[in-house]
Amino acid sequence: MKHICVFCGSSSGRQALYQQAAIDLGTTLARQGIHLVWGGGRVGLMGTIADAVLAEGGQTVGVIPSFMVEREVEHTGSTELIEVDTMHTRKAIMAERADGFIALPGGFGTLDELFEILTWAQLQIHGKPVGLLNVGGYFDPLLQWIDRAEAEGFIRPHHRKLYSVAGDAETLLEQMRQHAAPTEDWVGKVHLEQT
């Protein structure tokens, strides 16, 4: 994993532990020689993680739509900043540039990005690792919903292997390095692994 795409909030949240987790993850990525791919913003956890990577001498690749540049929320210190036309293009480029994906706490946008990338993995469009950095149990309710969806037959048990969960950056990255994409697709047919 040379490039990790991080999905996270454009707000910092109400608890300091979220911002600290973004700092820790950014610092860990830089120290491990992993480049950050992210939404290109300077606000909230987005700005915090980029600042942490850059402060540690790491590299960042921001992908931001023009309307956000017009609102002056782009991170002007990014190593590389790619301006795109739409949110759809942004997500496609972020996915293309990344070798894996991590979700930090966030809101609708974070969940949109996380579930799109999980759906692509489920459909075997990619076989890249996905991780949830479960800071302070933030994702516990989401994981409970996944339990319910599986129990009700909407998520197949083997698709639980599409993602890893950990409470700290180093553990999560190590789990992601051990990732093996399921060979069964969403209808249960066996296919070869894809990357």
CATH fold group of domain 3-177: Rossmann fold (3.40.50)
Contacts of 107 (CB under 8 A, 6+ apart): 9, 11
- Mean pLDDT to the nearest integer, 100-105: 98
pLDDT at 195: 45
pLDDT at 18: 97
pLDDT at 11: 94
What element of type H or E holds 6? strand 3-7
Residues of the chain with pLDDT > 90, as a percent, come to: 85
Domain assignments of the chain as residue spans, ordered by start? 3-177
pLDDT tens by residue, 42-101: 999 999 999 999 999 999 999 999 998 888 889 999 999 999 999 999 999 999 999 999
pLDDT at 174: 97
pLDDT tens by residue, 151-185: 999 999 989 889 999 999 999 999 999 998 777 66
Contacts of 117 (CB under 8 A, 6+ apart): 5, 7, 95, 101, 126, 130
Give, rounded to a whole angstrom, the gap between the first and last alpha carbons of the chain. Answer: 12
* pTM for this entry: 0.92
Chain mean pLDDT for the chain? 93
Give the separation between CA 52 and CA 29, rounded to whole angstroms.
Answer: 9
Confidence of residue 16 (pLDDT cuts 50, 70, 90): very high
pLDDT at 103: 98
Do 12 and 48 touch, CB atoms closer than 8 A? Answer: yes
